[in-house]
Structure 1
Amino acid sequence: MHRLSLTLMAALATAVLPVHARPQQSVPPRLDRMATTMVDAGVAPALVAVVVDHGHVSIHGYGKLPDGRAPDADTVFELGSLSKTFTALLLARELEQGKASLDTPVGQWLPGWSIPSLHGKAITLGLLAEQYSGLPRVPGNLAPPAPTDPYADYGADKLKRFLAGYTLPREPGAHYEYSNLGFGLLGYALARHASLGYGALLQRDVLQPLGMPHTGVTAPTKGARLAPGHGPDGAPAPAWHWRDALAGAGAMLSDGHDMAIYLQASMGTKSTPLAAAIRLAQQPRRDAGPLGRIGLAWMTTPSADGDVVWHNGATGGYSSFIGFNARHQYGVVLLANGYASDLLTGVGLASLSSALPMPPLQVLPEATLEQYVGRYVLAPGMVFTVSRRGRQLYAQLTGQPALPVFASASDRFSYTAVQAALDFQRDARGRVVALVLHQNGQSRRAPRTP
């Protein structure tokens, strides 16, 4: 029997551009309904949607913060891997100014470091930004004392040591593989080359020129403005902390106001001194499988309604998305203080192209949810315990945490923390008698037990 696992592997991310206030009904109905449903379903306590439509900006908050207020344009969220687009912009700026090339080996910018290579092919700055380096998603010596803050103690000494002992499984440039390690290394190399810390380099070369005062690896005004994160179990989750070694992969925080500025700059709807570098970063360069093509961090996914250029992000308690459809001059940023990156990404992509389906999500009455509450035997010693807390259903497998599941159809629920779904089965009298777990291409039935 293959061991069943629902364990979460955390992902993980001066020309001021004016924001023109718009009435909140300018958020398109399709996106407005889905954002409302996500909050009502318990996917995240708070969500902010930023919309740019033909140059006009609207920012709308959904849900509530701990003090009872609705989130707004000043509410701060962790960006997670959406940070990679900023690191890519730092690189693109160097390229556009002729200070580096995509073929520059990263080892040239880190003297004294041993960077792995294979068959004479080196890991270059371009391959790091295009996710073709051959490096793994995270370094093998990542062993945080606090799993809820996985990058807090990972410094340059550990990164240097890991790279010196790592053997690449294939040649750099062979194929796409998403790597937080790779982008962290890129950010660190860029900062070292500039003789600055990553955060200081980001402020000098990107955030100040764009006019984004509430964005950075630490948000100086976050305080009470920070929307507290919530983990895959729906419980409060601590903020993540990063050292420079991997900060370029996911350390940034921002608010809706600043992300509206960044979205406009990314779409090219406002003049900015970084326009050429932004276009360079977004240019598709390599195949990224079913996602489409990748440039420098930015993904381009084709659709019948126009190409969608985007990136997403997640930390232990937050999810984020940025994207736009140039054909329709329409862009979206979504920021949520809940771990639901796949769902938020699906919503973001669908909001940018009518050819892409909106993820199914429903809010069911408590009386309906109560029908599923019970114990379901998957195998000897392996029991699903399904419980309810208000309008939220939870499923817990023996020895694992209780994780929320969300209704996507009649008697069908999906996880946001893992790639799995549950179908509940009824008898002829309409009573729930079993559940079927769908995961890793397999379906396994668990009868309900008294």
Structure 2
Amino acid sequence: MRRRLTTMVPLVFALLATAAARAEPPAMPAGDDPALRALVEQRFGGDRTGACVAVAVIADDVRTAHVCADPAEQARIEGDVAFEIGSVSKTMTAALLARWIAAGEASLDEPLSAWLPGTKVPEFEGQPILLRHVVTHTSGLPALPAGVPIPDPANPYAAMDVDGLLKAIEHAALTRAPGTTMEYSNFASMLLSIAVARRAGMPFDALMREELFTPLGMRTAHIGAPPAGVRAAVGHLPNRQPTSPWDFAADAAGVGGVRATLADMVAYVQAHLGQRPSALDPALALTREPVPTASGRPMAMNWMLGRLPGGTLHAHEGGTGGFSSFVGFDVAAGRGVVVLSDTALTSVGGLASLALHLVDPELPLGQPRKPATPPTELLDALAGRWRLSAGLAATIRHDGSRMFIHPDGQPEFELGYDSAGDFHPLAFDAVLRPVRQPGGGWGFQWQQGGAVMPAERVDPAAANGSAGGIAADAAPTVAELQAYAGEYPLAPQFALTVFERDGRLFIQGTGQQAIPAEPAARDVFVVPQVGAEFRFERDGDGRVTAVTLLQGGQAMRGERR
């Protein structure tokens, strides 16, 4: 369920026309589509996470595939198996809210406090939190409520009951005006779930079942215990270890508590594509409309928005402790995709590359993360003492090709290394992501439990792998920087524009601000604050011809126009 780091390739959206309704939606196939299965195997076959994924592509027909990184584990996702869909649940909560709006009985400009009578909801200098702020993550509320205990990090929402959440909002304070900044807030989404249930006068799980699951033909979707004949998938950490399911207070479950089979989620996408007409159509259409806020970030009602060639994508990812999900569709093209995994993949990039490739084959598919041998120079560069946030310090050492991290006051843990360039503890779920530094050295980010902590070297005199880097007196000249200038398309509708200004190299992604990049080695520039590395290529005559963006374990290449 987590939230989202800034990346170089954002999803930016617009309103789409409604596709023509069909009398009968395309049926689920009896077996996997061989071509789709081969494509999914290309992305996940042999992946070091051991993930299993169930995939559907919805258009004039429905094609499905069920693939496990280890084929011997196929039984994990066979039959009517229900996955935790995490934050994709928020789009369904938005649909329940939209029913009142479509009927003229509510407005996105109503304050959240009007939907939580008797509860004091904070304001900022007289400006209240409106419903439009909640469904666009611009409420100003934190990701999680302060002061609410999390006794079991493996099941973090289990102890968050309704009374505790309402008490937490009464003690919350806003530091900025609602609507001005997008910051993903599960806290705000839990409050909306409670508010919708109270407005309806019935438990949230019953409301979801009666007003959304049943009308849309999501016959086995549920909150809480699965219906008869449906098996709950076992969630896994990306180190292949099983983990416990996530539990939610019933009326707060709209934040991420829905469980569903692949067939259920296909029915949900078909409803948005106009292939499964129901009385919910006006509400679903409202959830797809862009919701303006002062932040300027394009978003619909809990749907992220992204450009596609000739169309627009509505999408949402989900992630719990042991599951990942992605749902997206282009209404104008009449095409959608569902990807469900029984493994938490947030820390290693999620399901987006596969899902987006299935929507638009020109977007990169991605590759499996396979065990690899780390370069000796990288091991040398990371060895030493490091300090993370909150006073946590650790020592890193290596023994040949094996690396170990020893946090102060804890046992030492061995780290594996994968083909995407990340280290990961073999005993628990975390990622040590090396980050190239200006001048050619190395640092790293530590990712665990949804938090990203940059590391600071405690022993700066230690070797830091700067061999092959750029000395201070050998920085690129203005003429050398200008040689990189140009436009480099990385994907349809997204390109990097590179230019020199005031003796520095700037890189600007489509629809983003220009950011300065620092030299790290010949033809290599970095932006450490977002963990991005840019590697330029030259032809035989020495002319710059292409660039590869490395970020978050992913690589995107574009040739110079």
TM over 0.5: yes
Q: 2:339: which partner in 1?
A: 334
Bigger relative CO (Cα 8 Å, ≥ 6 apart): 1
Look up the equivalent residue of 2:370 and give its one-letter code: V
Q: 2:359: which partner in 1?
A: 352
Displacement of 1:404 in angstroms is: 6.0
**TM-score between the two structures when normalised by the length of structure 1:** 0.80
Q: 2:262: which partner in 1?
A: 256
**CA distance 1:359–1:273, shift in 2 (3 Å):** same
**TM-score between the two structures when normalised by the length of structure 2:** 0.65
Q: Matches of 2:282 and 2:414 in 1, distance apart?
A: 48
Q: Matches of 2:371 and 2:178 in 1, distance apart?
A: 49
Q: Does 1:298 align with 2:303?
A: yes
Give the % identical residues: 28
Q: Matches of 1:310 and 1:121 in 2, distance apart?
A: 30
SS at match of 2:419: strand
Q: Does 1:45 align with 2:57?
A: no
**CA distance 1:26–1:57, shift in 2 (3 Å):** farther
Q: 2:247: which partner in 1?
A: 241
Displacement of 1:351 in angstroms is: 2.6
Which of 71, 89, 92 lines up with 2:77 in the alignment? 71
Which of 398, 402, 408 lines up with 2:407 in the alignment? 398
Look up the equivalent residue of 1:186 and give its one-letter code: L
Contact 2:138 2:178 in 1 (8 A): yes
Q: 1:407: which partner in 2?
A: 419
Q: 2:394: which partner in 1?
A: 382
SS at match of 1:293: coil
- Which consecutive residues of structure 1, in runs of 5 or more, have no partner in the other structure? 1-9, 388-392, 425-434
Q: 2:316: which partner in 1?
A: 311
**CA distance 1:248–1:224, shift in 2 (3 Å):** closer
Displacement of 1:268 in angstroms is: 2.2
Contact 1:306 1:353 in 2 (8 A): no
**CA distance 1:166–1:364, shift in 2 (3 Å):** closer
Which of 107, 116, 124 lines up with 2:113 in the alignment? 107
SS at match of 2:65: strand
How many pairs align?
Answer: 415
**CA distance 1:222–1:234, shift in 2 (3 Å):** farther
Contact 2:148 2:168 in 1 (8 A): no
Q: Matches of 2:276 and 2:34 in 1, distance apart?
A: 20
**CA distance 1:16–1:241, shift in 2 (3 Å):** farther
Matches within 5 A, 1:157-176: 157-176=163-182
Q: 2:233: which partner in 1?
A: 227
Which of 268, 271, 283 lines up with 2:277 in the alignment? 271
Displacement of 1:142 in angstroms is: 2.7
Query: Between Structure 1 and Structure 2, which shows a larger proportion of helix residues?
Result: 1
SS at match of 1:333: strand
Which of 27, 32, 35 lines up with 1:19 in the alignment? 27
Q: Matches of 1:115 and 1:121 in 2, distance apart?
A: 11
Displacement of 1:270 in angstroms is: 2.8
Displacement of 1:298 in angstroms is: 0.5
Q: Matches of 2:378 and 2:443 in 1, distance apart?
A: 16
Displacement of 1:361 in angstroms is: 3.4
**CA distance 1:372–1:446, shift in 2 (3 Å):** closer
SS at match of 1:148: coil
Q: 2:101: which partner in 1?
A: 95
**CA distance 1:121–1:369, shift in 2 (3 Å):** closer
Q: Matches of 1:69 and 1:82 in 2, distance apart?
A: 25
Displacement of 1:94 in angstroms is: 1.4
Structure ID, larger Rg: 2
- Which consecutive residues of structure 2, in runs of 5 or more, have no partner in the other structure? 4-22, 387-392, 446-452, 458-462, 466-561
